[in-house]
Structure 1
Amino acid sequence: MTLKEKLSTSLVIGDGAMGTLLYQKGIQGCFEELNVSDPDQIEEIHWLYIEAGADLIQTNTYAANASKLARYQLSDCVEELNRAAVTIARKAAAGRAYTVATIGGVATMHQEKTPLDERLSVLREQADVLLDTDVDGFLLETFYDFEELKQILTYVRAKTTRPVIAQATLGDIGVLHTGMPLQQALEELEELGADVCGINCRMGPYHMLQSLEETATLSRAVLSVYPNASLPNVRDGRFSYQSNPSYFGDMTTSLAAEGAVLIGGCCGTTPEHIREIRKAVTEHELQPVTKTEPSRRRAAAAPELEGERITKLTEPSGQTSVIVELDPPKALSGVPAFMEGARKLTGAGVDAVTLADNSLASSRIDNLALGARIKAEGSRPLLHIACRDRNIIGLQSHLLGMHELGIRDILAITGDPAKVGDFPGATSVYDMSSMDLIRLIKQLNEGTSFSGKDLGAKTDFTVGAAFNANARRLDREVQRLAKKKEAGADFFMSQPVYSKERIEAAAEAVKDLEVPVYIGIMPLVSSRNAEFLHHEVPGITLTDDVRERMKQTDGDREAGEREGIQMAKELIDTALKHFRTVYLITPFLRYSITETLTAYIREQEKTAVISGRAAGRG
């Protein structure tokens, strides 16, 4: 009987974990390399699963692609390791079990920074080797990126008539990380030609059962489920799982009742777990079940955000939009001046006060706390959020807290690395990049958490992204902006520019983006300030003329400030010819300077209106 025939007539029992068994034995390094260096150990594990009752075993090739093998300097061993794995599995099976070739996903549960086409290239390389072997079928498992799974499924399906099992990994109960319902994902996999569609890893039997309760039987393909033994426990840096084989067996009856036809185990499962699955199938004489309707319905979609709608910074207001950065102070003694600055700037007519998030990796008073305070006094806060200081859990918590405080405007940035800051030994998190963060904030706007769980309401964030207007290759920088826009960026804020020509070049470069670009202007205050920015701050370049003008004021604080304001006004004059959006950056909490420049912008607008009217009368 072929594997396809077996799947259509009876329940099929898969094997359990390979990697965690090896890990528990104290083996470190590349498990797939053991296919060559210690094949007997791999064969023994296969044999133990078959002896426990597995109808189907998978090759030890989960991470045998060039991308993952590169961590061990084995990227040139793809063919050798995959072929060896098939030989070992076929020998262990010896006609007693079906053998499927496993291909694991490349993307992790964090947002994947490697481009999709590069990931697919290494998966296709591995697939080509395995397709040229005599396995009974193929198992695509642990795919966090659903598009990656669909693409490799399409590739394998086009090259073989043997059964293909396609298993996604959930973000939360009943949903993928994108928020896509499991039923929809299974239907899409079936449409692409998978013979078996299912889920594996990350969750134990209880949560996987809840997920299957939200699905119905597919029209052609059958369902599979490979739960972890339990949620993982970490002690002394080592992962472990509950020893619960009998519980696994008890859950088998329920999983089968929800339509699962292929049932195996993932992380933490052992031959004893598979033995209990076999025992449950035999004692209860379990057979495939057709389920035309879900046993449990998903909760209703998240409602729209309630409350007063806030005008977006991206919506035209008939005048130049001005946002001003006022950096949170490092010391508590600086808070009164900060609060007074926010009041003055709001009174001067700025559209938002933007607060950096520990810029240059130097610790400052929390921008969310200060943002809430200035909002309570009538200012509109725009908070920077850096990926450096918070993991995904902290980022989502921070964002939902912002939502509850009524703060809706964000600048998503990757953040300067911790090593450049004032806390020696501090570590950078970087669970994601700014582009990932933009994408995930937009997911919150759809009412879906980072894990895919329904939030019960939709956030209403407007998201900005950084623009390096001083980049040597503006065309490449604009390509990055286009990708950020595609990810969901609503507007851009540039680093400070100190050249009229650079403002004009930036305006030409971004003219086709069709989203607001706030051009950055930060007034200089002294020659030392100018030299520091030019020589030590990445992304900022001053012209020789600017540096010379500031040098003429060296030693005279008031003269330096006057000259800095004058040069900023000249830059503003150029900016207003090309942009209706300006981003003023306050130097050293000297908010009177940006207050003056905001008033200058408003005065220039009035002059332009009056001139226009006069020209009309003429």
Structure 2
Amino acid sequence: MTNKSQHPLEKILRSRIAIIDGAMGTTIRTYGMKEADIRGERFNDATKGLLNNGDLFTLTQPQMIGDIHRRFLEAGADIIETNTFGATSIAQSEFFVDDPREHGGRKDPAFYQKVIDDSFLNNLAWEINEQSARQCREWADRVANETGRQRFVAGAIGPLTVSLSNSPDAEDPGFRVVTFDQVKTAYIQQVRALIAGGADLLLVETIFDSLNAKAALVAIREVFDQDGKELPIMISAAVGRGGETMISAQTVEAFWNAVQHAKPLSVGLNCSLGPNLMYPFLEELAEKADVAISCYPNAGLPNPLSLTGFDLGPPDMARYLGDFARGGLINIAGGCCGNTPEHIAAIAKALEGRPPRKLDLVCAVESYASESLA
């Protein structure tokens, strides 16, 4: 296979540590948006509160979202994420569908089948994903043209608000609120819309339930096979203090074993723990995985008295991520909750000139081309 089959991001990952952006939700809060701002005219009649539905700002406040992308890019991000963490019909149903538990019922597969079949939710999810990818694409290309440095759009695929691994009913451990096929169907729509909008990569992130992630990876594979187009996949898990995924409770090594079949471009850890607690788990993953390693932690622990809602400032994050780089652990670095463009700028400056973790991506990248031609 020639170099023509290699994804452009591979060259960066071999030569330096790539920078991924920070927290969209945290940065949105600094703009002081109110309920009326997220509703606009379009969602003015919604019966439930929408302010926590940050993905919806893609449609109602596109200028603000574009400004956030611009700021992260100018801070030094090579990769910016779409504002689509909860942009599935399942996640959006939390804001637009009455909760049956408030009327003596419960959420179950029958409830979520109605969600999956709901045309309003399906159309809304598609629009958020496609428009967000287009917004990212526009800003990534604009800044790339201005700076002469290519930037990449990662389609953000979040973990959902439901679990396939655990039952919410202590008296019925076999009960699940949703089925694997329902989760897969919701993810299929999200993946197609992100690709339609111009995403360069697909990022399955903040994985607390490995079975949910499996559904996302199966959805991605089905879309690739059916549509004849493939993108590199990035995978990132959230782990607890013991280094286990939070609901499925897999160790870091077990998690990698569960997802390596997807031949990701990168695997990593994000969210959950602050960087001061993440080092040993990142070290284990870097030892076990044979692909690029990403890390974008929270800015420490939540702190409602802090301006960003988290303890660590830009110098703190720069110091911790610098330690990861000195340890030879990372190829992609950034920040999750609590990390603003200022945090990313500090991280990018601290990692400038630092060598990336050594890796051989040829097999992983060539596999995309080989499978596309099969």
What is the TM-score normalised by the length of structure 1? 0.44
Task: Identify which of structures 1 and 2 has the higher relative contact order when contacts are C-alpha pairs closer than 8 Å and 6+ apart.
Answer: 2
Q: Does the 8 Å CA contact 2:82/2:154 hold for their aligned counterparts?
A: yes
Q: Quote the residue 1:106 is aligned against.
A: 160
| Residue 5, structure 1, aligned to residue 8, structure 2 | no
Q: Quote the residue 2:294 is aligned against.
A: 224
Query: Counterparts of 1:205 and 1:161 in 2: how far apart (Å)?
Result: 33
Deviation at 1:85, TM superposition (A): 0.4
Deviation at 1:185, TM superposition (A): 1.2
Q: Does the 8 Å CA contact 2:283/2:329 hold for their aligned counterparts?
A: no
Q: Quote the residue 2:200 is aligned against.
A: 136
Residue of 19, 28, 35 corresponding to 2:25: 19
Q: Quote the residue 2:263 is aligned against.
A: 193
| Residue 122, structure 1, aligned to residue 186, structure 2 | yes
Query: Counterparts of 2:257 and 2:328 in 1: how far apart (Å)?
Result: 16
**Structure 1 stretches (4+) deviating beyond 6 angstroms?**
none
Is the partner of 1:260 in helix, strand or coil? coil
Deviation at 1:281, TM superposition (A): 1.3
Residue of 39, 49, 52 corresponding to 2:75: 52
Q: Does the 8 Å CA contact 1:153/1:194 hold for their aligned counterparts?
A: no
Which letter maps to 1:41?
M
Is the partner of 1:241 in helix, strand or coil? coil
Query: Counterparts of 1:239 and 1:19 in 2: how far apart (Å)?
Result: 10
Query: Counterparts of 2:84 and 2:219 in 1: how far apart (Å)?
Result: 18
Q: Quote the residue 1:66 is aligned against.
A: 89
Change in CA separation of 1:37 and 1:107 when aligned onto 2, cut-off 3 Å: closer
Query: Counterparts of 1:31 and 1:128 in 2: how far apart (Å)?
Result: 21
Q: Quote the residue 1:210 is aligned against.
A: 280
Q: Quote the residue 2:109 is aligned against.
A: none
Deviation at 1:183, TM superposition (A): 2.1
Q: Quote the residue 1:148 is aligned against.
A: 212
Deviation at 1:136, TM superposition (A): 1.1
Which letter maps to 1:214?
E
CA RMSD of aligned residues (A): 2.5
Change in CA separation of 1:32 and 1:4 when aligned onto 2, cut-off 3 Å: same
Deviation at 1:128, TM superposition (A): 2.0
- Cα deviation 1:506-537 (Å, max 9, x = unaligned): xxxxxxxxxxxxxxxxxxxxxxxxxxxxxxxx
Which letter maps to 1:102?
A
* % identity of equivalent residues: 27
Deviation at 1:78, TM superposition (A): 1.2
- Structure of greater Rg: 1
* Bigger strand fraction: 1
Deviation at 1:151, TM superposition (A): 2.5
Q: Quote the residue 1:163 is aligned against.
A: 232
- Cα deviation 1:531-571 (Å, max 9, x = unaligned): xxxxxxxxxxxxxxxxxxxxxxxxxxxxxxxxxxxxxxxxx
Residue of 113, 128, 132 corresponding to 1:85: 132
Q: Does the 8 Å CA contact 2:243/2:251 hold for their aligned counterparts?
A: yes
Q: Quote the residue 1:172 is aligned against.
A: 241
Change in CA separation of 1:60 and 1:172 when aligned onto 2, cut-off 3 Å: same
Query: Counterparts of 1:142 and 1:108 in 2: how far apart (Å)?
Result: 13
Query: Counterparts of 1:278 and 1:2 in 2: how far apart (Å)?
Result: 20
Change in CA separation of 1:229 and 1:206 when aligned onto 2, cut-off 3 Å: same
Deviation at 1:239, TM superposition (A): 8.0
Query: Counterparts of 1:258 and 1:181 in 2: how far apart (Å)?
Result: 21
- Cα deviation 1:269-305 (Å, max 9, x = unaligned): 01111111111112xx2112249xxxxxxxxxxxxxx
Query: Counterparts of 1:206 and 1:55 in 2: how far apart (Å)?
Result: 24
Residue of 291, 314, 318 corresponding to 1:249: 318
- Cα deviation 1:16-52 (Å, max 9, x = unaligned): 0001211343332422222122111000000101111
Per mean C-alpha deviation after superposition, the further-off stretch among 168-177 and 135-144 is 168-177
Q: Does the 8 Å CA contact 2:235/2:266 hold for their aligned counterparts?
A: yes
Query: Counterparts of 1:127 and 1:217 in 2: how far apart (Å)?
Result: 30
Deviation at 1:244, TM superposition (A): 1.3
Query: Counterparts of 2:267 and 2:68 in 1: how far apart (Å)?
Result: 26
Deviation at 1:15, TM superposition (A): 0.2
Residue of 346, 356, 369 corresponding to 1:288: 356
Change in CA separation of 1:262 and 1:48 when aligned onto 2, cut-off 3 Å: same
- Cα deviation 1:117-163 (Å, max 9, x = unaligned): 23232122211222333221111111211111123123314514321
Deviation at 1:258, TM superposition (A): 4.5
Query: Counterparts of 2:335 and 2:162 in 1: how far apart (Å)?
Result: 19
* Bigger helix fraction: 2
Is the partner of 2:197 in helix, strand or coil? coil
Deviation at 1:3, TM superposition (A): 2.0
Is the partner of 1:231 in helix, strand or coil? coil
Deviation at 1:179, TM superposition (A): 3.5
Which letter maps to 1:171?
G
Which letter maps to 2:25?
G
Q: Quote the residue 2:344 is aligned against.
A: 274
Deviation at 1:107, TM superposition (A): 4.0
Deviation at 1:181, TM superposition (A): 1.7
Query: Counterparts of 1:48 and 1:228 in 2: how far apart (Å)?
Result: 19
Per mean C-alpha deviation after superposition, the further-off stretch among 254-263 and 270-279 is 254-263
- Cα deviation 1:397-420 (Å, max 9, x = unaligned): xxxxxxxxxxxxxxxxxxxxxxxx
Q: Quote the residue 1:296 is aligned against.
A: none
- Cα deviation 1:227-267 (Å, max 9, x = unaligned): 0011112469x981124110111111222225211111111
Deviation at 1:98, TM superposition (A): 0.9
Is the partner of 1:233 in helix, strand or coil? coil
Which letter maps to 1:224?
S
Query: Counterparts of 1:67 and 1:80 in 2: how far apart (Å)?
Result: 15
Deviation at 1:2, TM superposition (A): 1.2
Trace 1:389-428 onto structure 2 (pairs within 5 A): none
Query: Counterparts of 2:262 and 2:215 in 1: how far apart (Å)?
Result: 9
Query: Counterparts of 1:90 and 1:53 in 2: how far apart (Å)?
Result: 16
Q: Which runs of 5+ in 2 are unaligned?
A: 1-6, 34-50, 97-119, 145-149, 169-175, 360-374
Is the partner of 2:206 in helix, strand or coil? strand
Query: Counterparts of 1:54 and 1:288 in 2: how far apart (Å)?
Result: 16
Q: Which runs of 5+ in 1 are unaligned?
A: 292-618
Is the partner of 2:12 in helix, strand or coil? helix
Query: Counterparts of 2:132 and 2:179 in 1: how far apart (Å)?
Result: 26
Is the partner of 1:50 in helix, strand or coil? helix
Is the partner of 1:215 in helix, strand or coil? helix
Deviation at 1:218, TM superposition (A): 4.6
Is the partner of 2:311 in helix, strand or coil? coil
Query: Counterparts of 1:218 and 1:8 in 2: how far apart (Å)?
Result: 18
What is the TM-score normalised by the length of structure 2? 0.71
Q: Does the 8 Å CA contact 2:299/2:310 hold for their aligned counterparts?
A: yes
Which letter maps to 2:355?
Q
Deviation at 1:106, TM superposition (A): 0.8
